[in-house]
Structure 1
């Protein structure tokens, strides 16, 4: 089967969670008998495709199923082409109104319009994929008129192997000492950067956020303020070329995010055996268990107590980390491949049933 596995704006999304999830899927399908194409366009791009169509060659390559990952204009074009030609269409809901809010300047205000657009586009799919039951419930509330199937974003266990050997190098690079509290990923307001800094002000420990951040006009005022003038014991590193070094350098992974569809960085931290402290959100309670593979908190005082408890108890950090690593292994690429192949088969069957009744 020829599968279009399409992520528009791919180059701009390499450092994003969407880009990471798409890379995970392509790696998981590398040994599959499926034939994957990453571009729908004849000639490789939309402008060339327009020319091809003008001369009668057709704008689109041939494919048997389309799996689209970003709700942009390219995906709209692919969706229309799929509907006209009875091609099964899968949309992947990496983006929701809730997780877009608090990411960039104006992203929250754009929420109502974004929700209507997503409901329209996602409803055009034969099957909609999302990372969690939490996200499924959000999409159903829009509402989305399409069947929804959950599939893990997965974690690249092989890419994280050997992280421990980088601990000394990265701690020396950033001047870290003692028990270090850290987060990994893009610095967004919705990720809880404000709470992260408030926790740091109440502590004498070092706090480090490993990951890129925007300081231009499109960045949120909170992110610009905190990254330009952080508390004395907080470091914002910017882009890290080897993410394994981030997970090696820290001791207590703390992500007080307000919204997640799953959280790839959490799975990565767990895969590296980190002791993880998270906000008590439905999506985290869906995958993780408080006191077994993580600590879940609601208030600032609870976060503070959890961090200090872990800092003072290396044995507890080790036990939580070992269980966390077991949890992360449940989200490996073998599972991603099985779930994708099952989703592709379901989409083909649904499309065939729909066309048979037309």
Structure 2
């Protein structure tokens, strides 16, 4: 069994889709799945992660060859709108494009039960749920790495690791920071200054002194090493890889109460969930002042993340591929 795992645009992008695709290959290696990223006609299953313009011709080629196609639904299409400049125009087009590819694949992988339900409502074909997983090899040693000088101060620090979009809860992050001037709020991740609307860039540049956006960071362990609380106020997710990563690194999580987090993130057990800015402020302050609760949520978050390691994801992918090959 050989998997064709295209990476045609991977070098040009950042974000969760790229991380997930790279993690899948590590998962392959852990369980012995043969794969290639180079263009080839010699494969049994093509597994698409990047649904850009090249995905459609690759899908047609696969159909002509009588090969099986698996598509990873990192986005259902719902979060294409109101994200970047002019997304209100191309967002609906992209949503239809995604659905076309989903409907013409042999297997669709949703990364959460929430996204699976959305896809099934649109009758896109056979859908299963499979976590993105967490790359424990990359994260191990998070509590031992040296803290960079610029983050060595003793202030209580709230962190986030995500691309900087309005949809990711930018307003909420800034407003919580404004309400807690004695704490440091640091959001790591690309700012996309050429793609984000002008208003978003101005908002980022006009934040109070204790709220910063240092941009992309090579070693993703650093946010989890320096942070006391992980604040992830995103309005729309399919799963949220960085939330899993923060959980693995024993960070107390404060997240928005959205459907993507139902079931696996549980309020006051392995996270605190909020709906309004006032609730976010209350939860962050509670974790700042209650060390026992902070430690309990962090420990439970780590226990949850242990079920998402790449070896376990690799075993599930391998089983799914075999089932796809044996299907009519």
98, 106, 131: which is aligned to 1:126? 106
In the alignment, structure 1 residue 95 sits paired with structure 2 residue 75: yes
In the alignment, structure 1 residue 211 sits paired with structure 2 residue 189: yes
Question: 1:141-166, CA deviations, whole angstroms, 9 ceiling, x for partnerless residues?
Answer: 3x243101111100011211111223
- Could you list the runs of 5+ residues in structure 1 that have no partner in the other structure? 41-59, 354-358
Distance 1:276 1:222, change over 3 A: farther
In the alignment, structure 1 residue 9 sits paired with structure 2 residue 14: no
Compute the TM-score of the two structures, normalised by the length of structure 2: 0.95
Cα distance in structure 1, aligned partners of 2:172 and 2:33:
44
Question: 1:83-102, CA deviations, whole angstroms, 9 ceiling, x for partnerless residues?
Answer: 11211111111123222233
Are the aligned partners of 1:131 and 1:262 in contact in 2 as well (CA < 8 Å)?
yes
Distance 1:176 1:191, change over 3 A: farther
Structure 1 equivalent of residue 45 of structure 2: 65
Cα distance in structure 1, aligned partners of 2:199 and 2:239:
24
Are the aligned partners of 1:8 and 1:75 in contact in 2 as well (CA < 8 Å)?
no
44, 55, 58: which is aligned to 1:75? 55
Cα distance in structure 2, aligned partners of 1:97 and 1:29:
27
| 3-state secondary structure, aligned to 1:231 | coil
Instruction: Output the aligned Cα RMSD.
Output: 1.6
Structure 1 equivalent of residue 209 of structure 2: 232
Are the aligned partners of 2:105 and 2:125 in contact in 1 as well (CA < 8 Å)?
yes
Q: CA deviation at 1:70?
A: 1.4
Q: CA deviation at 1:222?
A: 4.0
Structure 1 equivalent of residue 87 of structure 2: 107
- Could you list the runs of 5+ residues in structure 2 that have no partner in the other structure? none
Question: 1:61-105, CA deviations, whole angstroms, 9 ceiling, x for partnerless residues?
Answer: 311111111112322122111111211111111123222233311
Q: CA deviation at 1:9?
A: 0.4
Are the aligned partners of 1:102 and 1:188 in contact in 2 as well (CA < 8 Å)?
no
Structure 2 equivalent of residue 158 of structure 1: 137
Q: Number of residues paired by the alignment?
A: 327
| 3-state secondary structure, aligned to 1:73 | coil
Q: CA deviation at 1:109?
A: 3.4
Are the aligned partners of 2:151 and 2:226 in contact in 1 as well (CA < 8 Å)?
no
In the alignment, structure 1 residue 148 sits paired with structure 2 residue 127: yes
Question: 1:218-262, CA deviations, whole angstroms, 9 ceiling, x for partnerless residues?
Answer: 213343112222222101111212111111111011111000110
Distance 1:33 1:328, change over 3 A: closer
